[in-house]
Amino acid sequence: MLLHKSTWIEIEAYLARSKTVIIPIGSNEQHGPTGLLGTDWMCPEIIAHKAQTSADLLVAPTFNIGMAQHHLGFPGTIALRPSTFMAAIGDWCLSLAGHGFEKLYFLNGHGGNVATIEAAFSELYAEASFAGRPRGFACKLMNWWDLKGVMRVAQKQFPEGHGSHATPSEIAITQWAYPDAIKSADYTPKIAPTGPIREALDFRARYADGRMGSDPAQASPEKGGELVAAAASALIEDVARFAAEPAVR
C-alpha cells in the first residue's frame, strides 16, 4: 500500500490494523558516468515498493534529498545542510506520529545520510527525555544493503570492484527497475580509486568520474532483480520484527 496513492480514509483504516510505516530515504547525487542521479533514493523506493506487493505494508513518499554536499562538484546533485535535513526528518516524523503511527521505519539508500538521520532521531527522543514523558513513537534506520542476506548476494555477484560509491549492486537495482535508462561508458581505470570524503572540490579532484573503488560495468538487470528479491523479502521480516516490539506509550 502506497500512502501517496491512498486516500485519508484508507490510511485511517490502515491505522486500525497497523501503526507501522516505511519511509524510503536517500539522496539525489552523481553516481559516476552511468549511475542515475536518483540511484540512492530509487534503490530503497524500489525495494520497499516491491515488498508491499506481497505484504500488508504501508510505504510513505520517498524522502529523496539528503546529505550530498561532497558531490556538489558534479552537475545535478542536490544537497541539504545537516541542520535542514534534521529539521525535515523531524517534521516528517511528527506529522506521521500525529496521525497515530508508532513505528517509523526509515529504509536508507545513502551512507552519507546515516549520521544525520540518527542525530535527528536523537533530537526527537531528547525532547521527550527532558520533558519527562514518553516520545510516543519509535524510529528505526536500516540501510537496504544491511538487510539480512543482501550483501551475501552482492559479494557473490561482485567479488571484486564492488567499492563504496556508484557500486555495481546499486546500479544493477536501478537497471532492473528502469531498463530504458541503462547507460554505458568506457571505464578507466576499470576499478576506481578510493579514499577519504571531504568537501566537493576535494572529492572531484580525487574521484574524477565520481566512482569510489567500484566497477559498475559488472551491473546487469538480472543481478539487480536478484538483489531486489533478497532485499524485499528481508525487509518484510525486519519490519515485522520492528512492528512487534512493545508499543511506545
What burial letters (b/e) apply to 219-228, b meaning 16+ CB within 10 Å?
bbbebbbbbb
CA 48 from chain centre, in angstroms, equals 10
d(CA 235, CA 16): 22
Separation of first and last alpha carbons in the chain? 26
Distance, CA of 8 to CA of 174 (rounded, Å): 31
For residue 208, give the DSSP letter.
Answer: T
Which residues share a beta bridge with 31?
35
C-alpha to C-alpha distance for 137 and 195, rounded to whole angstroms: 38
Name the residue among 18, 92, 44 with its Cα closest to residue 244: 18
Question: Grid coordinates representing 217?
Answer: 560495468
pLDDT in tens, the chain (249 residues): 999 999 999 999 999 999 999 999 999 999 999 999 999 999 999 999 999 999 999 999 999 999 999 999 999 999 999 999 999 999 999 999 999 999 999 999 999 999 999 999 999 999 999 988 888 999 999 999 999 999 999 999 999 999 999 999 999 999 999 999 999 999 999 999 999 999 999 999 999 999 999 999 999 999 999 999 999 999 999 999 999 998 756
- Asked whether 167 and 190 are in contact (CB, 8 A), the reply is no
**pLDDT for the residue numbered 247:** 74
Report the topology of domain 3-157+228-243. Rossmann fold (3.40.50)
Non-local CB neighbours of 133 within 8 Å, separated by 6+ positions: none
